[in-house]
Homo-oligomer: A and B are copies of this chain.
Amino acid sequence: MILDGRLVSGAILDDLQNRIANLKVTTQKSPGLAVILVGNNPASQAYVNSKKKACEKIGVTSFEYLLEETVSEAELVALITRLNADGRVNGILLQLPLPKGLNEEKLLYMIDPEKDVDGFHPSNIGRVLLGLPGLKPCTPYGVCELLRFYKIETRGKHVVILGRSNIVGKPLAAMLMQRGDGADAVVTVCHSAVEDVSYYTKQADIVIAALGKPEFLTADQVSDNVVVIDVGINRVKDSTSPRGYKLVGDVAYEEVAAKASAITPVPGGVGLMTIAMLMKNTLTAFCHAEGIV
């Protein structure tokens, strides 16, 4: 079974679109998302464009701030302060990476946690680990929703996560070890300090690869009927492509797919879920700001 990120994210966006249309009738308002992009990184520009398109599709008002690479930290501080106070803006997204010389951590963490639709703020990350409601980091949130959509049982299952990044591995572990439906898993987190990750991945009912190494996970490292979620998006050289590169995940797709009971493709898997969950967080922040449960 292929876990189709396009299908699932599409279903989520359709649902959000309906809810936003209904809320517009009752509140006369729409959720607003401010996106701050500094410099000309082509990958960042592409991400920002996809986010803008998603906003348009579902009825979120987007506010774009395209800033020169030379913008000062003080100007960004002033902008974020203004957006924190702006009632039309429910979510604020600071597109990473920032040019050198700008303090990413400082700028990210000054976004009001209630507008932190990326779910990166320590208090939102803490709420995830504590099992409290709130804005959740989009990529791990998307992985959980994908598993939920396909009714893949996690309760009591052994989930092995490869990678301990702050935006995927660690918060995903935190989500899957909580009580309740779509969680209750036995979670093991592996990383670069582990000599033999295959010792763990072979035991896993579900393997989630999020280490940013092209085609790292091979068929000999997993058991038959494993579920594989591939969070990696890596550019590798490809002379046959007009762009000169192709996108591959952290999983050697063909050989692992032959062994797995379910697997996400790259592209078309987790990546699309991330944007859908960003939109979901924006609606959550809007509802919270409007006092709608």
Contacts and interface: CB of A to CB of B under 8 A. Distances in A.
Interface of A: 121-132, 155-156, 164, 166, 170-171, 173-174, 177-179, 184-191, 193-195, 200
B174 A170 contact: yes
A112 B14 CA distance: 41
A200 B186 contact: yes
A37 to B, nearest CB: 24
Contact of A194 (B127, B156, B173): B156
A187 B159 CA distance: 12
Contacts of A184: 191, 193
24 contacts: A122-B123, A122-B130, A122-B132, A126-B126, A129-B129, A129-B166, A129-B170, A129-B171, A129-B174, A130-B166, A131-B166, A164-B178, A170-B174, A174-B174, A177-B189, A179-B191, A179-B193, A184-B191, A186-B188, A186-B189, A186-B190, A186-B191, A187-B188, A187-B189
Given A126-B126, A129-B174, 4 more contacts: A126-B129, A177-B189, A186-B190, A187-B188
Contacts of A186: 188-191, 193-194, 200
Contacts of A130: 122, 125, 166, 170
Contacts of A121: 123, 126
B156 A195 contact: yes
Contact of A124 (B126, B188, B195): B126
Contacts of A132: 122
A155 to B, nearest CB: 5
Candidate in A122, A166, A174, A179 with the most chain B CB atoms within 10 angstroms: A122
B188 A164 contact: no
A31 B121 CA distance: 29
Nearest to A170: B129
A241 B191 CA distance: 48
A119 to B, nearest CB: 10
Contacts of A171: 129
Q: Which of A173, A184, A193 has the most CB of B within 10 A?
A: A193
Nearest to A176: B189
Contacts of A185: 193
Which one of A155, A164, A178, A185 has the greatest number of beta carbons of chain B within 10 Å? A164
Given A156-B195, A173-B177, A184-B193, A127 B131 contact: no
Given A122-B130, A125-B126, A164 B177 contact: yes
